[in-house]
Structure 1
């Protein structure tokens, strides 16, 4: 038998091993790494969700809290006790009972019981007791309320205007820290009784 003639493919060395596509596991896809990445992504999503919830519930605010403007001195208007005004009393101090005291003072001057109402306690402390009024026409009545309360400041501002839910004009009294009584006991009160 004769040998076939040699061609260029006869010079290629034969390799041993498998030839073709093989289905093998990807190297580097470790189960622990996948678990750690999943935990990290879940943590970021949870923290982001909590932060967004707090912002939407106004627990976190990026703008400064709105404060009433500084009191303006009123001149040339005489105080007038006008019981046709409703009076809202807000206690901006940690001491309780100041709303009741202010309400009693106004009721004693003739205000109707349903025309004076208030709220104890506030998240913000206020330095000086102030009577707020909205329109210039309300200034005399605000001065009258300030006089009844014993020398409160008076200021024109629409900061509390949204708290009026009636057609009747309303003044707002914010009780400040100047009305807080000093609860420090005096020296003679702290003396101990003699032992028997």
Structure 2
């Protein structure tokens, strides 16, 4: 292949200097400045997003985001204490769960004298081997009256034991909510513990 002839553009003068627009040397620190601006822009975007979400849903807690104090644990509401009462208006059924004849009628009369005017039916229970005397109530609204009736029954049992010179084997009458007895607002089922006080001074409750 033939070589083209030389011309004036093939020879570069030794004293030729750069002319026209050229980038000058970079200044020191310009990289950090760019990084700072980028970080600032990112922070503004994040803050704007958080504020927007807070407006949409106020469930965002800024205290939690910035390490503020944590929410305090709610204090549980204490269960109100039920005070026993003698309520002559409530209806009461007395059932004899033992083999002692006439026990329900006798206890019913004693409870009327103690202020329980609502004593109604006094009868034998379906079984005669009931061990623990229990006061049953259906409606929670009658719990205070059930506790009051249990206290009245325990007072009678204590008096009967003292009259016979013996010590009761129980320290209280059991109270229980149940829908088993629907005939009255309160139902007493008399058990063997109401009849058999201990003669050795023991106050342990009988085994059920």
> Shorter-chain TM-score category?
0.3 to 0.5
Q: TM-score, normalised by structure 1?
A: 0.47
Q: TM-score, normalised by structure 2?
A: 0.45
- Of structures 1 and 2, the one with the larger relative CO (CA 8 A, separation 6+) is 1
Instruction: Pick the structure with greater CA Rg.
Output: 2
